[in-house]
Structure formats: structure tokens, C-alpha cells
Structure 1
Amino acid sequence: MIYPLLRNFFFALDAETAHGLGMAGVDFLKAAGATCLLASAVPPDPVRAMGIDFPNPVGLAAGLDKNGDHIDALAALGFGFVEIGTVTPRPQPGNAKPRLFRIPERQAIINRMGFNNGGVDKLLANVTGAQFLRRGGVLGINIGKNFDTPIERAADDYLLCLDRVYPTATYVTVNISSPNTRNLRELQNDEALDALLGSLKSRQARLADRHGRYVPLALKIAPDLEETQIQAIADLLRRHCMDGVIATNTTVSRSGVEGLANAEQAGGLSGAPLAAMSTAVVRRLSTALAGELPIIGVGGIMSGADAADKIAAGASLVQFYTGFIYRGPQLIAEAAAAIAGRRAAQARMA
């Protein structure tokens, strides 16, 4: 495959520079009709979750395409759904560079990007210009708060973003779990989360009436949660009739990368070292939720087997980002095939 050769080139560059060049390359191949050079075709494997029909259960996690600049090119690689963002009400530059670091010995990345994005208006202009939604694609939009919005006013930012993206998104993800925006994870605490979910669900109901369509809401949570916290979050998700939950974001743990270059950089760790932690959260959530709402499993998916593990733990769908960087677009078809194979084996045993 061509991707390992390309990866050697990109990994010789600064990580953020390589990201920009890589996305430009994906756009070029899409425009040239040559996407097949990077990705294999993904057979249909429909999944219904959150009231949405997904053509296959393998999605792109938020963070790779923060502004929706590359929606059509990424979708052409075979993803069953694409999630863009995190977007904030106002544009913001994010944290100072450098802020993206590879740990190739462990197939890991540390980032402290800080919700760098062009703001919700820019994202919506890009979505409007893309063909993906017009062709029936499933587009998630991940929303957050601006870094300088006080935590006690965070709900205002989420509600503003929800108002703006609601007419366009297939589903909306509420990101309260990034470690790179100061105090953001405090919103996962019981009282704060109860208030935030109540506000969001009330606004969702009004927007559904106004627009004549129901857009599901999913909550994205951290992997660094105790079992009692996971149970409390599950209880609130059920109480507020949330439509889905995404488990998980990046971790502040450095387990598995100790002593390696870049391991002490501040930020969230993703990639292979996150796999077991993330899958454990999926499993605990699945037990606590008892099937009342679907789980999207994300974190450390570096192979088809990793994707199938998330499904086995109770996820209905999966997403990845870091695996895409290390393995390339071929991981999409590999993950889809592994999930389909696991489901076929289950069906034969039933």
C-alpha cells in the first residue's frame, strides 16, 4: 500500500504541518478521482442508532477536520459517518504551538490543541458547500465552549452552537471532556452535568418544533472516570433522554508511554495506550445503560480487532482519529470487515 511510504514522509515533518499537508493531499486525490489509491471500498453494513441509518458502523472522530474543510474528501474514503469540530461560537486560535506530538514507539499522539477553529459560521459555510449531506451522508457536528467563556456560563456557548448547527447536522455531539480547555471537565460533575443536559434537551425540543426535524444529541465523555462517576453519568443520560454517548475522549494518563520522548508533554493522550481504558469505559457504560441508548466507541482503535473489541464491549458504532494517522485509510475497511465478521459469527451462534 502507498500509505506507509507517505507516512514516513509525513512523520519526518512537524506533526501539525504534516496534518495540513495530509488533508490537502486527501482533497487532491478526491478531486482527481484517485481516492482508491489510499482506501479500499467498504461494503454496506447498515446500522441504526440514535434514530439514524448509518451505511456502516465506522466513523471519523472529531478533531481531524475541525472546520469541516475536508468533508467530501474524507467521506470518499469509506467512512460510514463523519464528525467535524470541535466548533466554538467564536473563532479562536487554540493553544500556543507546538501543541501536537507523536510517540511512534507506542502508536500514540499527545495534543493540547485547545479547540482551535474558525468559529461556527465558518464551519457552517463549509458544510453548506459540501456535497456529503446532499448525498445522504451522516454528519455529526461536535460543539464546545470558547476558552474565555467562564465555566459558569458554558451552557450559553453550547446552546448558541446548538441553535446554529441544528438545521444542518445529522446529530450533534456535546464535548465536555477535552483536557485542553481549562475547567471544561468540571461539566462532567453531577450538578453541572444535570443542569447542562437539562438546558440542552429543552432547547432541542424547541428546535425540533421550529425546524420540523429531530436532531439527536450525544455526550462525549472522558476515559479518566471512576466507576461511580460512570454510573452517575449513565443515570443522567437516561434521566434526560439523551440520544447517545461517545466514549471516550483523550486521557491525561501517561500509562504505557512512560519515559518516552514527548510523553511528558501536557495534553490529551490518544492512540494504542488508550485502547484498554476506553474499552473498559464502554463496557461499564453498556452495563449501566442496559441498552437504553447507544454508545459510540472511540479510543485506541489501531486495527480491525480493536474495533470489534469496542462492539463486543457494547458499542453500536466506532470512531477513530489517531489510528487513521498511523494506519491510514485502509483501517476503515479493516475495521468495517472485522465488525461485520464478528456480527456474522454471533448470528451463526444464535
Structure 2
Amino acid sequence: MFLSIIGIFFVHSAGSYWSEVHYKGQMPFALKQAAYLIVGIVGAFIIQKASFIRSDGFWRGLYIVAILMLIGVLIPGIGVVRNGSQSWISLGFMNFQPAELAKIAVLGVLANSLANVKNSRMKMYIQSGLLLLLPIGFIMVQPDFGSAFVLVVAVFFLLFAAGLPFKFFLWIGMSGIIAFVLLIVSAPYRLVRIQAFLDPWNDPLGSGFQAIQSLLAIGPAGLFGFGYGNSRQKFLYLPEPQNDFIFSILLEESGFIGGFIIVLAFLTFFSTSFSMAARAKTRERQLMIIGFTSLLAVQTFLNMGVVTGLLPVTGVTLPFISYGGSSLVMTWGIIGIILNLAQETEKEGRR
């Protein structure tokens, strides 16, 4: 809740001028974000109380729905193109990103599958591969490399928690390097991003623009920043600063101290969630909590890494804080799932 409220304030600060210039007459970003937060909290409360979350059939059904939506988003007239990616479906009042639902569905059904596999590592490998590769393929066609990367790494952590042997991860790592090279070769814009990451000043007005503007926001901020609302980079220097690069604006206005508080809040959330997993009474619930927590942790690390120049630029939102209905509502959906599983664990402990 703390992170989400902070998000509303900084969505207002970061997106106020961008909204005035590009979306004049429409509802301000901060009001939309507040509405999304209410929807997310209500959804989390319902999910927390719902018994169907613990049903294998629910996760299989959700997985099928997610695959159908990933197919639907690629159909002209249904999918909405933004920034070169056909990744959204228009619901009228908001654009929904099926990849967000697919992340949850894949981790849920995979956790169930891993928990129920008995004495057959080969079966575990095959099931994991099939359940992951199908949605990843559709997500990459959009293309949405950021969502695909976050999902793959989260699944990697889930498989590690499931007890797969080290040699499996060695082979996966080697395969991942080969796949990464092939992805770069197949799409020249990805090579441009890698080059911009290594030397953004080589093309400061093109491929290196976002990275440079982000660093220009963070670098001069010092310990305490320029104060809330006093960002300079939000004035059309950083493209859509209320989205993927909102952490840049947050650091520019609140400085190192503000950034430290946000990082500490995320670490507190992750450590609490992992401790819930450690106390889980069933393997299935343990794996599910680990998978969903890893998903948010990987996405947080990737966003902060991009913003601070530690990783190449890719379109990934900062959970709870970045503007966007799909991201915020689905993140709170994950909160509801984790609380549901943790609540059941506590009840079992009292018995």
C-alpha cells in the first residue's frame, strides 16, 4: 500500500506535463492510477477470500484463457499497437496487456505441475518446457522482450526452488545464451539497444537518448533531490516519464535517500513474502508463493537496472509505482494470491 500510494504521487508529478501536452482534456494520470489502485485492492480482497485459488482446475483454465488472449492480441482490430508493439487489448476505459495475465497463469500452473510430479525428472523437464515455451512464443511475436525475459527468469527461480539439479540450469544457461544471440541477430533493433547500453553517447539523440536522459535526472539529484514536483527531465526529455522511467523522476526529486527508502520497502516486501513461502505447509503453496514473489522481484530489479544504466533499455514497469492499469491491477492480484495462500497456511498451523 505504501509503494502504491507513493506511486500515485509520483505518477502525478512525473506525468503532469506529459499529460497536459499529449492528453489535454483527458483524466489526469494520477486520477486514473488511483482508480486502478481501488480496482486492484478490491480484486486482491476478493482473491484473498476465494477458495478457487487453491484449485488445480482454476490454474489450468486461467492458463488457457491467457493463451487465447495472447493469440487475440495479435489479431488486427483486436490488438492495439503502442510504441511498435502489439501488446494491448482495448477495453474502452483502459488498455489491458495479456502478457501480465500470462505471467501469473504460467507460474501458477507450473507450480501446481512441479508440486504434483513424482519421481520423474524427465516428466518435470518436459512439462516445464511445454508450459513455458507456448506463451513465451506469443509474447515474443508481439514483440515484448521485457515481459518474456521477466517470465523466463521467474520460472528459472521457481525451477530452482523445485529442486532441479545444477546441471539442468547449466544446460539452460548455455541454451539461453544461444537463444539471446539468435534473438539479437533476428531483430536489429535489439543489437542497437545493446550498443546503446555499452555506449549511449555514441547516439545521444537516438538509441542512447532514454538512457542518457535517465542518468541526467539521477546524477545531479544528490542526497535529497530537487524536491517533489521539481523534476526537470519530465518536461519532455524522458519519454512518458510516468511509465517505465518513473524511478528516474523519483530519484531526481527525492535523491539517494528517497531511492533508498523505496528499495528498502521492496526488500521488506520480498523478504516477507519469501518467509511466508518458508512457512507454507504444502509444496504446492510454497512453490506458488516463491514463483509470484520472484516475478515481482525480477521485474523490480530489471526496471531499476535499466533506469540506473546497469542493464540495457527494455520496456518493463516498476511494480506498484509505474503508471498503468494492467500492471497495477495484476500486481495487486498477485498480492491477493499470496495472502490467500499465507492465510491458509496460518489456519493449518492453528489446527
Q: TM-score, normalised by structure 2?
A: 0.33
Look at both structures and tell me which one has the larger radius of gyration over its CA atoms: 2
Relative to its length, the structure with more helix (as a share) is 2
Relative to its length, the structure with more strand (as a share) is 1
- Which of the pair has the greater relative contact order for Cα pairs under 8 Å at 6+ separation? 2
